Amino acid sequence: MIVERAANTAILAVTALVLATAVGLPLGIVTGSRHGGLIPSVIRSTSLLLLSMPPLLTSLLLVFIAARTGWFPIAGMRSATTPAGGATLDLLHHLVVPSLAIGLPLAAMLERLQAQSMSEVIAKPFVLATFAAARARHLSRRRVRGGRSRVSRVRHARRRSGARGRRSARGRRRVA
């Protein structure tokens, strides 16, 4: 019984960590690389709200929403009968509410840390020099800021701020 409960706890912890990382880091890149605007402001406000709310209140709010809508189960790790989708889909369906309850505050914290790191790195001279060099080559503002082959401050800052890319076949880093 202890082994089964430990396995359930490990599954929940890994799911919450993956969710927090998948949500928090990209949102941190967005808020750290853009100053002003509606989207970064909404992300920062939501992050601040999630960080300032006690985890018990966040959990109760999620359970209340799940109970009122009926979209997700509010108790248990598995259904009594295996549904048509299989045991894995049933497990994932039961993990939504608890992993959100654990992962959202962690995602808010990761978002704030990544945004802070991005803002610091974007202000560094080597990033500003890269941006100025691209503009000096008469690249359009759109091509420098974004686009398919971008030479943007965000791309260069992302490497230094902790959001690492994948390694290429030669062992060099390339941003995903």
Q: Does 10 or 123 have the greater pLDDT score?
A: 10
Q: Which amino acid is at 158?
A: R
Instruction: Please say if the pLDDT value at position 112 is more than 90.
Output: yes
Q: What is the pLDDT of residues 12-63, one digit of tens each?
A: 899 999 999 999 999 998 888 877 789 889 999 999 999 999 988 988 998 8
**pTM of the predicted model, to two decimals?**
0.71
Task: Give the model's pLDDT for residue 90.
Answer: 77
Q: Per the structure block, which two tokens stand in for 35?
A: 């100053």
Among 52-56, 107-111, 169-173, top mean pLDDT goes to 107-111
Instruction: Please say if the pLDDT value at position 145 is more than 60.
Output: no
Q: Does 21 or 154 have the greater pLDDT score?
A: 21
Instruction: Please say if the pLDDT value at position 156 is more than 70.
Output: no
Q: Does 21 or 149 have the greater pLDDT score?
A: 21
Task: Give the model's pLDDT for residue 149.
Answer: 43
Q: Per the structure block, which two tokens stand in for 147?
A: 């686009």
112-142 exposure pattern, b = at least 16 Cβ within 10 A, e = fewer: bbbbebbbebbeeeebeebbeebeeeebeee
Instruction: Please say if the pLDDT value at position 108 is more than 90.
Output: yes
Task: Give the model's pLDDT for residue 93.
Answer: 78
Q: Could you give the CA distance from residue 141 to residue 120 in angstroms, rounded to a whole number?
A: 22
Quote the mean pLDDT of the chain: 79
Task: Give the model's pLDDT for residue 48.
Answer: 92
